[in-house]
A = this chain, B = another copy of it.
Amino acid sequence: MDPVILFFVLGITAGLLRSELRLPAAVYEFVTIVLLLAIGLKGGIELAKQPLGQLLPQMVAVVVLGFVLALIAFPVLRKLGRLQRADAASIAAHYGSVSVGTYAVAVAYLGSQQVSFEEHMPLLLVLMEVPAIIVGIILARGVSRSTRWGSVVHEVFLGKGIVLLLGGLLIGWAAGPEGVLPLEPLFMDLFKGILALFLLEMGLITAAQLTGLRRYGLFLVAFGIAMPLFSAVVGTATALMLGLSLGGTVILATLAASASYIAVPAAMRISVPEANPTLSLAAALGVTFPFNVLIGIPIYHAMATWVLG
């Protein structure tokens, strides 16, 4: 098992044992900022090497993928889960969007398995964050006039996550591989160490979400495991269609399978306030994140190997 995963396990364990261990909010923010910038930069460097036009099919495909996954999740949550409209819409948005932390773990995993992948994946990551948010808002409130779309767009595109990822992408793209070289000691060499600290904190947070889970029962657990498995299949199929490499397929499956816990919760809190954040975070963080990180990614790897082999 990759040692960064062990940090996640340490965090969960410490959290469940009610240890005094707690990372200050500022450390969480620092670590998040470095990760987001690092992922953006890495993708940007790659973009500098190839014509953007060539990536257009992939870009369109992941946007559609984001829409579709949210639209599929919604009726399941509504019918099978008997959740309220707003809650179902909000959770659907979480699962249609993506988790940067899960992406980073997948990158680390492929690294230690020495499987290479298309390095422009961070571009797809950014593109896939947004569509599900829009779906979620429309599902919750309809396309009513009263929705303040101005502030929705602001919330979505100017949130910390997107700004740093996109900013990193653009800087990496503008500076190119040579230009970014002096930044590598911080953003590349420390990447795994910083990711370890991030996962330690995520473990502590995940442990706290489990309380939410206990209250809202089995359905969320089932959904939190079944949905990523289903999404990973859709993601793998999409990757196949796009002709991605083995590594690229694993990443796209992981992106599809992952559920957002940075951009989407913030956007939903403002745009669909009547949705209960405890539900979506319990599912996305309490179930799906650990599932993907501990079990899912190797499964998606096996699946991709099988499909592409």
Residues in chain A within 8 A of chain B (CB atoms): 1-4, 6-7, 10, 13-14, 17-27, 29-30, 33-34, 37, 108, 111-112, 154-155, 158-160, 163-164, 167, 170-171, 174-175, 179-180, 182-187, 189-190, 192-194, 196-197, 266
* A17 and B158 form a contact (CB under 8 A): yes
When all copies of this chain in the complex are counted, the total is 3
* A158 and B18 form a contact (CB under 8 A): yes
Tell me the smallest distance from the CB of A294 to a CB of chain B, in Å.
Answer: 14
Tell me the smallest distance from the CB of A159 to a CB of chain B, in Å.
Answer: 5
A contact patch SS:
helix
Chain B positions within 8 Å of A171 at CB level: 3, 6-7, 10
* A18 and B154 form a contact (CB under 8 A): yes
Q: With A158-B14, A163-B21, A266-B20 in contact, do A193 and B197 touch (Cβ < 8 Å)?
A: no
* A183 and B174 form a contact (CB under 8 A): no
* A190 and B185 form a contact (CB under 8 A): yes
Chain B positions within 8 Å of A34 at CB level: 197
Chain B positions within 8 Å of A10 at CB level: 163, 167, 170-171
A106 to B157, CA, bound (A): 33
A26 to B201, CA, bound (A): 14
Chain B positions within 8 Å of A189 at CB level: 185, 189
Chain B positions within 8 Å of A154 at CB level: 18
Nearest CB to that of A17 among chain B residues? B158
Q: With A183-B192, A193-B185 in contact, do A19 and B112 touch (Cβ < 8 Å)?
A: no
A193 to B186, CA, bound (A): 5
Q: With A27-B33, A29-B23, A160-B20 in contact, do A190 and B182 touch (Cβ < 8 Å)?
A: no
Nearest CB to that of A29 among chain B residues? B24
Within 8 Å by CB of A158, from B20, B182, B196, lies B20
